[in-house]
C-alpha cells in the first residue's frame, strides 16, 4: 500500500468516531486534486458547473501552471460516493493541484472516479450546470462571475469587493491570496469585477430566483476584503450593508442573508442587522495570541485580537449568539515557521478558542486551510497541516459543541455524513443532524 493510502486508512481506523467520508474530504481539501483533461468542464458551454473562483484561488498551483485546467475550468465541486470505503454522498470543493496523489479520471465507459495513488477510492458525480448560469445580465456579465453558487447550489457567494484593503506582507493575512487571485485573473483576461455594482447583483439574483425552480439556493453571503477606509465613499458596514438592504427590499426573506466582514464596533454591527443581515461572520482565523499577531497582522493592526474577540461577543447581543459564526482557518496553527510543532499543542490551542466562544453560546466554524503557493504560509508549507490534525479537530469540534449543549449552526443545511453540503471543510459532515439529536 502506498504512503498516502496507508495514512488515510490508519486515521480512519484510529478515529472510528469520525466518518471515513470526513477523513478523505479533509485530505482532499488540504492536498488538492489533479484532473484528467476529460474530467474538466467546458466552462459555461457544457453540462458541468465550472469552478467560479468565488473569492480566493483555492488552488495549489498558480493559474498559469494548471495546464488544461487553466483553459477549461475544473468543476466547482465533486460529489463522492461508494468505493472501497462505502462512502455516503460527500460534497468536496475543488482545489486543483497537478501534483496531487488524488486524481479524477474518466473511464472508457464515461464514468468518473477518484483515484488515490492509482487506486479507485470513490465514484464521482460532477455538479450539473445550473440553468441560471446559462443566462447573462443585460450588460453581458455572467451569473457565474456576479453571483456564483457553491455548496451544491445552497449558497450564493457574493464577493462584492474582490480586493482587501489589508495590503502587502505587513497587513494581509498570511494564508490569504485574495489580492493575488484578483491579479492573476486580471492577467489571464478573465472577467473579474473589483467592486460589483448593486444593480448587477440584483439582476443576477433575479435570474437565479427565476430559474432555481427547485429552490436549491437557501442563503447568500456578502463578502470580500476588509474595508479600512472607504469604498464608493462608504465605510465597511454601509458598503456591504447596502447590498443586503437592496436584496431584502427586492426579494424579502427569499434567502438567509450572511455577511463575512471585520469585527466592527457594536453600532456598525447593528447597522448590518438593520440592513437585513441574519448571520454575521467576524472571522478570528486563528486562536493563539502569538500566532494571531503573526498570521493576521492587518487584523491586529486595525482592531487587535482582544478587541476582535470582544466585538464578536458584542455582536452576539445584537444578532443572538447562534447567529454569530466566526470562522477560523483550520491548519494554519501548524504552519512553519511559527506554528505549533505537535498536533497535541495545536488541538489544545484550537479547543481553548472553541471553549471560549461556545461557552458563551457562539459557535465558530472552520474552513480547511488550502496552502496557496503565492501566500507566505502556503509557500513555506506546500503540504499544509498534518491530516491527523484535521481529523482530531473534527472530533474535538463535535465534542466541544456537545459539551456546551449547542446545535449545528444555522445556515448550512442539514448536518451529518451523507447530508452535508458545506464543501470547504467537513465540520458539518461530522455533526449529528438536529432532528436526530437525542434531547439531553
Ligand atoms: S481580512 Fe485577511 S483573510 Fe480576509 S480578505 Fe483580507 S487578507 Fe484575506
Closest ligand 1 atom number to CA of residue 224: 5
Q: Which residues contact 47 (CB under 8 A, 6 or more apart)?
A: 128, 129
Q: Are residues 46 and 194 in the same domain?
A: no
Residue 435 has a pLDDT of: 67
Residue 341 lies in a domain: yes
Residue 436 has a pLDDT of: 56
Ordered DSSP codes for 226-277: --SS-BTTB-HHHHHHHHHHHHHHHSTTSSEEEEE-----HHHHHHHHHHT-
Residue 433 lies in a domain: no
161 alpha carbon to ligand 1 midpoint, in Å?
A: 11
Do residues 381 and 335 make contact, with C-beta atoms less than 8 angstroms apart? yes
61 alpha carbon to ligand 1 midpoint, in Å?
A: 20
From the list 132, 141, 146, the residue with the least C-alpha distance to 247 is 146
Helix (H, G, I), strand (E, B) or coil at 55: coil
Q: Are residues 105 and 251 in the same domain?
A: no
Residue 24 lies in a domain: no
Q: Are residues 179 and 285 in the same domain?
A: yes
Determine the Cα–Cα distance for residues 276 and 430; give it in Å rounded to an integer.
Answer: 31
Q: Are residues 62 and 207 in the same domain?
A: no
Do residues 175 and 166 make contact, with C-beta atoms less than 8 angstroms apart? no
Residue 193 burial (C-beta neighbours within 10 Å; 0-12, 13-18, 19+): middle
Q: Are residues 283 and 242 in the same domain?
A: yes
Residue 431, Cβ neighbours under 10 Å: how many? 25
Protein residues whose CB sits closer than 6 Å to any atom of ligand 1: 164, 166, 172-173, 176, 178, 225-226
Residue 239 lies in a domain: yes
Q: How many residues in the chain?
A: 440
Q: Are residues 64 and 181 in the same domain?
A: no
Residue 19 lies in a domain: no
- Give the count of domains, the chain: 2
Domain closes at, from 73, 105, 125: 125
Domain closes at, from 125, 142, 158: 125
Q: Strands 279-281 and 327-330: what pairing?
A: unpaired
Determine the Cα–Cα distance for residues 321 and 357; give it in Å rounded to an integer.
Answer: 9
Q: Which of 178, 182, 301 to mutate to test the pocket of ligand 1 (most atoms within 8 A of CB)?
A: 178
Q: Are residues 387 and 262 in the same domain?
A: yes
Q: Are residues 163 and 284 in the same domain?
A: yes
Helix (H, G, I), strand (E, B) or coil at 316: helix
From the list 347, 436, 435, 439, the residue with the least C-alpha distance to 399 is 347
296 alpha carbon to ligand 1 midpoint, in Å?
A: 8
- CATH assignment of the domain containing 402: 3.20.20.70
Residue 363 lies in a domain: yes
338 alpha carbon to ligand 1 midpoint, in Å?
A: 19
Q: Are residues 117 and 149 in the same domain?
A: no
Residue 437 lies in a domain: no
SS3 content of the chain, % helix, strand, coil (to 5): 40, 15, 45
Residue 432 lies in a domain: no
Q: Are residues 115 and 246 in the same domain?
A: no
Determine the Cα–Cα distance for residues 73 and 392; give it in Å rounded to an integer.
Answer: 33
Nearest CA to ligand 1 atom 5: 225
Residue 187, Cβ neighbours under 10 Å: how many? 12
48 alpha carbon to ligand 1 midpoint, in Å?
A: 30
11 alpha carbon to ligand 1 midpoint, in Å?
A: 32
Determine the Cα–Cα distance for residues 319 and 305; give it in Å rounded to an integer.
Answer: 21
Domain closes at, from 106, 125, 144: 125
Q: Range of 309's domain? A: 132-425
The model's pTM is 0.97
Q: Are residues 377 and 270 in the same domain?
A: yes
Q: Are residues 156 and 63 in the same domain?
A: no
Closest ligand 1 atom number to CA of residue 165: 6
Range 274-287 burial, b when 16+ CB lie within 10 A, else e: ebbbbbbbbbbbbb
DSSP 363: -
pLDDT by 10s per residue, the chain, length 440: 799 999 999 999 999 999 999 999 999 999 999 999 999 999 999 999 999 999 889 999 999 999 999 999 999 999 999 999 999 999 999 999 999 999 999 999 999 999 999 999 999 999 999 999 999 999 999 999 999 999 999 999 999 999 999 998 899 999 999 999 888 988 888 888 889 999 999 999 999 999 999 999 999 999 999 999 999 999 999 999 999 999 999 999 999 999 999 999 999 999 999 999 999 999 999 999 999 999 999 999 999 999 999 999 999 999 999 999 999 999 999 999 999 999 999 999 999 999 999 999 999 999 999 999 999 999 999 999 999 999 999 999 999 999 999 999 999 999 999 999 999 999 999 998 876 554 43
Amino acid at each position: 500500500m502506498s504512503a498516502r493510502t496507508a495514512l488515510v486508512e490508519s486515521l480512519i481506523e484510529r478515529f472510528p468516531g469520525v466518518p471515513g467520508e470526513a477523513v478523505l474530504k479533509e485530505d482532499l481539501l488540504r492536498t488538492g486534486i489533479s484532473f484528467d483533461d476529460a474530467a474538466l468542464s467546458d466552462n459555461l458551454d457544457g453540462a458541468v458547473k465550472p469552478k467560479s473562483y468565488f473569492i480566493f484561488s483555492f488552488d495549489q498551483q498558480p493559474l498559469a501552471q494548471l495546464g488544461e485546467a487553466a483553459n477549461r475550468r475544473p468543476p466547482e465541486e465533486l460529489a463522492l460516493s461508494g468505493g472501497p470505503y462505502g462512502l455516503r454522498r460527500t460534497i468536496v470543493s475543488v482545489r486543483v493541484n497537478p501534483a496531487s496523489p488524488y486524481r479524477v479520471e474518466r473511464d472508457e465507459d464515461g464514468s468518473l472516479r477518484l483515484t488515490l495513488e492509482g487506486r479507485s477510492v470513490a465514484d464521482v458525480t460532477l455538479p450539473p450546470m445550473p440553468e441560471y448560469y446559462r443566462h447573462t445580465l443585460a450588460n453581458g456579465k455572467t451569473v457565474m462571475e456576479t453571483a456564483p453558487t457553491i455548496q451544491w447550489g445552497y449558497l450564493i457567494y457574493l464577493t462584492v469587493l474582490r480586493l482587501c484593503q489589508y495590503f502587502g506582507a505587513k497587513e494581509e493575512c498570511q494564508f490569504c491570496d485574495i489580492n493575488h487571485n484578483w491579479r492573476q485573473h486580471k492577467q489571464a483576461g478573465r472577467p473579474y469585477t473589483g467592486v460589483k455594482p448593486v444593480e448587477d447583483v440584483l439582476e443576477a439574483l433575479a435570474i437565479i430566483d427565476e430559474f432555481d425552480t427547485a429552490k436549491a439556493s437557501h442563503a447568500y453571503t456578502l463578502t470580500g476584503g476588509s474595508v479600512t477606509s472607504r469604498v464608493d465613499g462608504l465605510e465597511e458596514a454601509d458598503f456591504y450593508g447596502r447590498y443586503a438592504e437592496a436584496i431584502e427590499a427586492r426579494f424579502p426573506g427569499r434567502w438567509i442573508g450572511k455577511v463575512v466582514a471585520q469585527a466592527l464596533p457594536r453600532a456598525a454591527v447593528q447597522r448590518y442587522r438593520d440592513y437585513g443581515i441574519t448571520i454575521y461572520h467576524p472571522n478570528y482565523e486563528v486562536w493563539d495570541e502569538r500566532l494571531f499577531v503573526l498570521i493576521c497582522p492587518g487584523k491586529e493592526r486595525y482592531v487587535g485580537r482582544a478587541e476582535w474577540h470582544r466585538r464578536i461577543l458584542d455582536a452576539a447581543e445584537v444578532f443572538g449568539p447562534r447567529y454569530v459564526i466566526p470562522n477560523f482557518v483550520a491548519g494554519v496553527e501548524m504552519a512553519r515557521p511559527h506554528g505549533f510543532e505537535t498536533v497535541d499543542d495545536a488541538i489544545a490551542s484550537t479547543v481553548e478558542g472553541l471553549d471560549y466562544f461556545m461557552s458563551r453560546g457562539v459557535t465558530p466554524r472552520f474552513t480547511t486551510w488550502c496552502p496557496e503557493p503565492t501566500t507566505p504560509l502556503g509557500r513555506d508549507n506546500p503540504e499544509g497541516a498534518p491530516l491527523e490534525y484535521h481529523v482530531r479537530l473534527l472530533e474535538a469540534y463535535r465534542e466541544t459543541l456537545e459539551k456546551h449543549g449547542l446545535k449545528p449552526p444555522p445556515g448550512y443545511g442539514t448536518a451529518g455524513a451523507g447530508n452535508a453540503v458545506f464543501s470547504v471543510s467537513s465540520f458539518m459532515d461530522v455533526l449529528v443532524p438536529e432532528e436526530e439529536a437525542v434531547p439531553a
